[in-house]
Structure 1
Amino acid sequence: MLLIKNGRVHTMCKEGTEKCDILINEGKFIKIAKNISISGEELETIDASGLNIYPGFVEAHSHIGISEEKIGIAGNDCNESTNPITPKLRAIDAINPMDSAFHSALSVGITTVMTGPGSSNPIGGQFACIKTDGRRIDDMIVKAPAAMKIAFGENPKTAYGDNGNTPITRMGIASLIREELQKAMDYYHEKNSDNGDFKIDYNYEPYLPLFSQDMPLKAHVHRLDDIFTAIRIAKEFNLLLTLDHCTEGHLDAEEIAQSGFPAIVGPSLSSRSKLEIENGDFKTPGVLKKAGVRVAITTDHPVTRIQYLPICAGLAAKEGLGRENALRAITIDAAIILGISDRVGSIEVGKDADLVIYKGDPLEIMGSAVCTVINGKIAFNKLNHNED
């Protein structure tokens, strides 16, 4: 049992803060109130006087554990660039929990990440939502599969078109995705109307959660026309969709808002290294939010290192998103977009006991995480370190 006392708690259930105590047992928040009094031999107490407490931060799009830091090609399992259609790939089969980036995530209070394949393939495989503390991936999973990756634009064109293979054009990318989804939808309907002689096809089994709307398509889209192509295809098949990167989303935010699909924006703290991201800007999340789009912020680790997620949120706040919405974009709104808000994203009774204690403001450069808790256990601790 863990009791955290006297902190300024940002529950993300409502705006503002309240000085109160948090009681945790068996990995869950069990009480959030003023002056909780309890004792026992197994009770651990943290005094958070003068400190800020936030829900564990959520990174909504990354390749952590798959594109490993420091290891180079030996640790790069991000893109299976041998076939443009690879729905059977599962992130959990490639994530290395020993990747040093997990410690970096913990050091700033990131407790949940969505991670998965890269964007070389028009259909790239299955993402997973996982906790950032652990040694065995099976014990870290929050939701898997959590999304089916699809990709538009320059990356698939370069991966295959440069070798004279399909797809060479944006038309080719969309046609491959559409053809595969049509086959998968036919398979879904056939399986649901089984007359007794249905045969399982493991090429199409991975798509089934899409058609029952248990997970979304996760679309790599930068350019505005690619954003609308992804929306068009999702609408054609009546599928859930997240617009990942959404770099030019600010150029027609009202139309994107009308689609009803959320955006996971970033990485904005990186160079404009391709034509399709020449309009990248930290103002995008704010413009989209103002138009009515639910927004999360991403580093796209390792494109931007994962520990800069709170700073990216701070820069977005400065450029129009506002402080409260920026915090939501790395907590509860990110969790809602990923379909895991029943477990993470806010400090509420019954949810996973994931939180971070900060000295100062996480959205400011001098803010410093001093303790990160995952599932009720301390995973990162600087509380007893002497600092100037």
Structure 2
Amino acid sequence: MKLWIQLQPKRSFILAATFLLTLARAQAQVPTPGDPQEQAIIVLGGTVHIGNGEVIENGAVAFENGEITMVGSASEAQNMDLSGYEQIQAEGKHIYPGFILPDTDLGLVEIGAVRATVDNEEEGSLNPNVRSIISYNTDSELIPTFRFNGILSAQIVPEGGMIPGTSSIVQLDAWNWEDAAVVMDDAMHMNWPGRFRTEFDYSTYTIKRVANERYPEQVQKLKDLFEDAVAYHALEDNKTVNLKLDALQNLFNGNKALHIHAEEAGEIAEAVIFAKEQGVERVVVVGGYEAYLVADLLKEHNVPVIVDNVHRLPVREENDVNLPYKLPNMLKEAGLKVSLAYRIGMNSRSRNLPFLAGTAAAYGLGKEEALKMITANTAEILGIDDILGTLEQGKHATLFVSAGDALDMRTNQVEHAFIQGRKVKLDAMQQRLFEKYKEKYSQSE
């Protein structure tokens, strides 16, 4: 009894703390996902950006049961029977397909400094059997802030090691990961080892490049894994299941893409040649800072590039200071399919994806070509262009209305957003705090 009395205060404290944490979390919940579309909706009078380079001034987009049923001019829509439609007037505004964010750990990492909220990698270097989708957290407070900029779909990618695992594509308004999934296990990811690594020199307080002595060993590990996977693939159906080798099988029949994360020209070339020699049918380069130096090789093998982070400084001293801004247009001019991502740094920065496109537009692309790099091109590279990426009849009604140019941070203001026809609540913690303290200080006056 004495021991129970001594422990009781501590136990009470733990219970109280747990209750308070639960209460705080309950108050900070993300908005409830939208209800399935019940009434047909038409957006009228806005500038419709199809996503494939086409623009319709004074256009209209109609959708029903989560699917786009009409895209055309407002005058065409006036000839329709709109009595059963909810009508949204968008004169002077812009209508876009939902932006698609590739290569992100959104929903896998909440607060980088809090280990309990980080679930983006597994132990070990070769983990092809890891699936990011089962760790995707639909209650992340970051997700609503991405929707504010028109990002309505994302490719959730694991990290760590040479093969961190398999990504999945999700829509950003769901109760759980099963509901969120648009395409499960769309691509295998490989971090190609570099011949060089950076090292900080404390004697001079500079960063220097040193040779990666483990490079041959690391490449050999990848070769051994893929050769084992090919041999495993050739076995009869009654073989003993090997989860790691089994996860690689769809690379050899084209059902799954291999996304190779590499920056330097030599790494990109070696990685692409390696993948093709191993029989991988669909290859995508992610990062690709020096992809323009091996553009001919990439074009020869029909390899698209997902450019990570246009908003950065040049990597090499001899580079043009504006090279990162010009890179998307340089690759496009070289005949490559190009998409944009924003993986470097905190994942919350990825919400600025449309403004990367805006910068690329200003450095040679033009707005509609830049828009394609976060809509149609991304959908094609990820293999979801039959349902997302453009405003076309039969595709998912995943779109938004902005008061101004969505690629310009000064005018991007999302007023309406829909994911598979569902109305998305454009609300988050920041808005709730604004209302809370506005009420507090208005009362104090």
Interval containing the TM-score (normalised by the shorter chain) = 0.7 to 0.9
Contact 2:167 2:187 in 1 (8 A): yes
Task: Provide the C-alpha distance between the structure 2 equivalents of 1:325 and 1:125, rounded to a whole number of angstroms.
Answer: 31
Amino acid at match of 1:179: D
1:10 aligns to 2:56 (yes or no): no
Cα distance change of structure 1 residues 53 and 185 upon mapping to structure 2, 3 Å threshold: same
Q: Which runs of 5+ in 1 are unaligned?
A: 159-166
Contact 1:58 1:345 in 2 (8 A): yes
Write the mapping of 1:177-192 to structure 2, written as runs, cut at 5 A.
177-191=222-236
Cα distance change of structure 1 residues 285 and 322 upon mapping to structure 2, 3 Å threshold: same
1:140 aligns to 2:183 (yes or no): no
Cα distance change of structure 1 residues 226 and 154 upon mapping to structure 2, 3 Å threshold: closer
Partner of 2:28: none
1:323 aligns to 2:367 (yes or no): yes
SS in 2 for 1:105: helix
- 1:19 paired residue among 58, 73, 85: 58
Cα distance change of structure 1 residues 173 and 45 upon mapping to structure 2, 3 Å threshold: farther
**Normalized per residue, which structure has more helix?**
2
Report the TM-score when normalising by structure 2.
Answer: 0.76
Cα distance change of structure 1 residues 134 and 303 upon mapping to structure 2, 3 Å threshold: closer
1:127 aligns to 2:167 (yes or no): yes
Write the mapping of 1:31-70 to structure 2, written as runs, cut at 5 A.
31-33=70-72, 34-36=76-78, 37-39=80-82, 43-69=85-111
**Deviation sequence 1:83-142 (CA, Å, 0-9, x none):** 111111101121111112211111011111111111x31111000011011120100111
Q: CA deviation at 1:325?
A: 1.6
Amino acid at match of 1:93: I
Cα distance change of structure 1 residues 18 and 335 upon mapping to structure 2, 3 Å threshold: same
1:284 aligns to 2:327 (yes or no): yes
Radius of gyration: which is bigger? 2
Amino acid at match of 1:308: N
**Deviation sequence 1:170-190 (CA, Å, 0-9, x none):** 323322222111111111222
Partner of 1:296: 339
Task: Provide the C-alpha distance between the structure 2 equivalents of 1:146 and 1:51, rounded to a whole number of angstroms.
Answer: 34
Cα distance change of structure 1 residues 154 and 198 upon mapping to structure 2, 3 Å threshold: closer
Q: CA deviation at 1:207?
A: 1.1
Equivalent residues, number: 367
Q: CA deviation at 1:69?
A: 4.1
Task: Provide the C-alpha distance between the structure 1 equivalents of 2:65 and 2:195, rounded to a whole number of angstroms.
Answer: 44
Amino acid at match of 1:232: I
Q: CA deviation at 1:157?
A: 7.2
Contact 1:104 1:306 in 2 (8 A): no
Cα distance change of structure 1 residues 278 and 100 upon mapping to structure 2, 3 Å threshold: farther
1:258 aligns to 2:300 (yes or no): yes
Amino acid at match of 1:122: M
Contact 2:312 2:324 in 1 (8 A): no
- 1:375 paired residue among 413, 420, 431: 420
Q: Which runs of 5+ in 2 are unaligned?
A: 1-39, 199-211, 432-445
Task: Provide the C-alpha distance between the structure 2 equivalents of 1:274 and 1:115, rounded to a whole number of angstroms.
Answer: 30
**Deviation sequence 1:206-234 (CA, Å, 0-9, x none):** 11211110111111111111111211111
SS in 2 for 1:282: helix
**Deviation sequence 1:287-330 (CA, Å, 0-9, x none):** 11100110000011635712210100111122223322211000
**Deviation sequence 1:315-365 (CA, Å, 0-9, x none):** 112222332221100000000000010110001111000112112211222
Report the TM-score when normalising by structure 1.
Answer: 0.87
**Deviation sequence 1:255-306 (CA, Å, 0-9, x none):** 332231000001232467999x999712111111100110000011635712
Amino acid at match of 2:157: G
Contact 1:63 1:78 in 2 (8 A): yes
Contact 2:147 2:426 in 1 (8 A): no
SS in 2 for 1:127: strand
Contact 2:284 2:306 in 1 (8 A): yes
SS in 1 for 2:243: coil
Aligned-pair identity (%): 25
Contact 1:122 1:156 in 2 (8 A): no
- 2:385 paired residue among 316, 324, 341: 341
SS in 2 for 1:214: coil
SS in 2 for 1:205: helix
Cα distance change of structure 1 residues 278 and 205 upon mapping to structure 2, 3 Å threshold: farther
Amino acid at match of 1:325: E
Partner of 1:307: 351
- 1:231 paired residue among 250, 269, 272: 272
SS in 1 for 2:360: helix
Task: Provide the C-alpha distance between the structure 1 equivalents of 2:307 and 2:185, rounded to a whole number of angstroms.
Answer: 21
Write the mapping of 1:359-370 to structure 2, written as runs, cut at 5 A.
359-368=403-412, 369-370=414-415
Task: Provide the C-alpha distance between the structure 2 equivalents of 1:146 and 1:122, rounded to a whole number of angstroms.
Answer: 18
Contact 1:107 1:380 in 2 (8 A): no
CA RMSD of aligned residues (A): 2.7
1:205 aligns to 2:236 (yes or no): no
SS in 2 for 1:146: strand
Task: Provide the C-alpha distance between the structure 2 equivalents of 1:137 and 1:358, rounded to a whole number of angstroms.
Answer: 28
Q: CA deviation at 1:12?
A: 2.4
Contact 2:361 2:370 in 1 (8 A): yes
Amino acid at match of 1:23: A
Write the mapping of 1:110-125 to structure 2, written as runs, cut at 5 A.
110-118=151-159, 120-125=160-165
Task: Provide the C-alpha distance between the structure 1 equivalents of 2:400 and 2:215, rounded to a whole number of angstroms.
Answer: 43
1:79 aligns to 2:117 (yes or no): no
Contact 2:48 2:58 in 1 (8 A): yes
